[in-house]
Amino acid sequence: MRKRDTDKEDLVKQTAIKLIVKNGLEGFSMNKLAKACNISVATLYIYYKDRDDLILNIAMESGKLMSDTIIKDFDPELSLEEGLRQQWKNRYKFMTDHPGLNLFFDQLRSSSYQEEFLSGFLKEFKLVMGKFMQNVMERGEIEEMTFETYWAIAFAPLYALARFDNEGKSLSGKPYQMTDKVLWKTFNLVIKALKK
Amino acid sequence: MRKRDTDKEDLVKQTAIKLIVKNGLEGFSMNKLAKACNISVATLYIYYKDRDDLILNIAMESGKLMSDTIIKDFDPELSLEEGLRQQWKNRYKFMTDHPGLNLFFDQLRSSSYQEEFLSGFLKEFKLVMGKFMQNVMERGEIEEMTFETYWAIAFAPLYALARFDNEGKSLSGKPYQMTDKVLWKTFNLVIKALKK
DNA sequence: CATATAAGTGAATGAATATTCACTTATATT
DNA sequence: AATATAAGTGAATATTCATTCACTTATATG
């Protein structure tokens, strides 16, 4: 038997993400991917059943990575401020450690892969996050609110900052780069909104 | 001369948006669009120069509609709470009056059309919104903060709610539909975060 | 009514797409 | 060293794509 070249396999994954981020799913093709990796198209069909299988597999693997990063050192029994701070830390770390991966996820979110992508790695994740909110609410640290309201206040601002950062320029026209200072300033406002 | 059938022209626009929202830009083609409209592909090339021209024109027209809706009855001299409330009202109205159009914009945002799309209708818009924030800050109604932080707190939660609404189900698995109550509850938290 | 003119068409073109196939190559095991 | 087996290939296939073209149809205007 011959062993599969795991370097090549990894190259395929990285290149696929890079191409999709750059040109969108719309501008992505198997032939282009093969060419960019300097391998034969047919090789892609050894690794993956078809185009959908390729995209979904890479998506789910990346999703798992995100999920693992976000859950790290997080305990749903933490206080509102401690717990949320850890969440912001983890999510921020993921963004900076894997620049572009958020853009990759944006592509998936606005595609037909969305549902399968989310369902893949979000199960455990949902449970832990839901538990945390419930604890905090039961302890009376925050008012009664729906999960949607909670999420919208607690995390949407963070992802908005990330998008500004990715686009590299603010609405005001000035170039923009996220800094720790801006991040934690925004975090403090979020805490102010949520705390009773 | 023969007059152009404006009903048909409008059908093309509506159908294009519907198809793109449903299948993504990836799954959208001129032939499919023509078939869905029961017209010849060649007719599309009477209305538009090419595929890009078609997408961009429809995008810009929709963008203009959004911009006009959002700017209505808004005065950058309003107080923080009054001004922001009007903004939320306008943006919410746009979402409910044109369901799906936000999803269409999401598609564009993660595509190569993004830049041209934004630059088309955002100019005036940026100015007014920037002016409002500046006024509010100068008056001391909110602390010093970057435009990005301001936007992330002031509007990102609204769009997060809209996305939950579009997806029709919450992270907690229960079906979800946005209500006025949830909307204004979230708005109040946003005001709490921003107000000094 | 006649006709100029733009609207609208169905079938074609060539390029790009996903996928397959007959084939060669490397290597783990015997 | 021999060989079985999976990795890897380049060229082909069939499909879908955007775009064009020679043509017909409707109608506003003279």
> Across chain B, which distance is largest between two alpha carbons, in Å?
65
Amino acid at A23: N
Distance from CA(B37) to C1'(C7), angstroms, rounded: 16
β-bridge partners, B169? B175
State whether the beta carbon of B5 lies below 7 angstroms from any atom of strand D: no
> What pLDDT score does A174 carry?
65
> How many residues belong to chain A?
196
Tokens of B96: 């409910």
- Measured between beta carbons, the chain B residues lying within 8 angstroms of A107 are 110
User: Helix (H, G, I), strand (E, B), or coil: what is residue A71?
Assistant: helix
- Weakest-pLDDT range from A79-83, A119-123, A175-179, B170-174: B170-174
**Which nucleotide minimizes the distance between its C1' and the CA of A42?**
D9
Q: Tell me which residue in B147, B158, B170 faces A171 most closely, judged by beta carbons.
A: B147
Q: Which two tokens stand for residue A52?
A: 């959908």
Helix (H, G, I), strand (E, B) or coil at A40: coil
- Which of B23, B112, B190 is nearest residue A24 as measured by Cβ atoms? B112
Residue A72's alpha-carbon distances to A37, A69, A90, A120, A151, in angstroms, are: 33, 5, 7, 19, 19
The answer to whether the C-beta of B32 is closer than 7 A to strand D is yes
Q: What is the pLDDT of residues B133-161, one digit of tens each?
A: 999 999 999 999 999 999 999 999 999 99
- Residues 6-35 of chain A within 7 A of strand D, judged by CB, are 8-9
Per DSSP, helices labelled H in chain B are 6-23, 30-37, 41-47, 51-71, 80-97, 101-109, 114-138, 147-154, 156-167, 180-194
Q: What is the mean predicted confidence (pLDDT) over B160-188?
A: 82
User: In degrees, to the nearest 5, what angle opens at C-alpha A161 toward C-alphas A155 and A166?
Assistant: 125
Q: Name the residue among B107, B148, B157 with its Cβ closest to that of A156.
A: B157
Q: Given an 8 Å threshold on Cβ–Cβ distance, is B171 in contact with A26?
A: no
pLDDT higher than threshold 70 for residue A73: yes
- Give the C-alpha separation, B191 to A68, whole Å: 33
Is the CB of A42 within 7 Å of strand C?
yes
Which residue has the least CA–C1' distance to nucleotide C5?
B1
Q: Which residues contact B124 (CB under 8 A, 6 or more apart)?
A: B67, B71
What pLDDT, on a 0 to 100 scale, did the predictor assign at position A123? 79
On the question of pLDDT at A167 being above 90, the answer is no
* Domain assignments of chain A as residue spans, ordered by start: 1-47, 65-194
- Taking CB atoms and an 8 Å cutoff, what residues of chain A touch B152? 156-158, 160-161, 164, 186
Among A130, A148, A194, whose Cβ lies nearest the Cβ of B161? A148
pLDDT tens-digit profile of B105-135? 999 999 999 989 988 878 888 889 999 999 9
Residue B106 and residue A109: Cβ atoms within 8 Å? yes
Alpha-carbon span B107 to B49, nearest angstrom = 21
Q: Which contiguous run of DSSP H or E holds residue A24? A: none
Chain B residues in contact with A170 (beta carbon < 8 A): 146-148
HSE value, Cβ hemisphere, 13 Å, CA-based, for A115: 8
Give me the residue label for tokens 């900076």. Answer: A96
Residue pair B148/A161 in contact (Cβ under 8 Å)? The answer is yes
- Termini Cα distance of chain A: 65
Domain A1-47: CATH class, spelled out? mainly alpha
CA distances from B82 to A68, A86, A91, B89 (A): 42, 34, 33, 10
Distance CA B101, CA B87 (A): 18
List protein-proximal bases of chain C (any atom < 7 A from a CB). 4-12, 16-22, 25-29
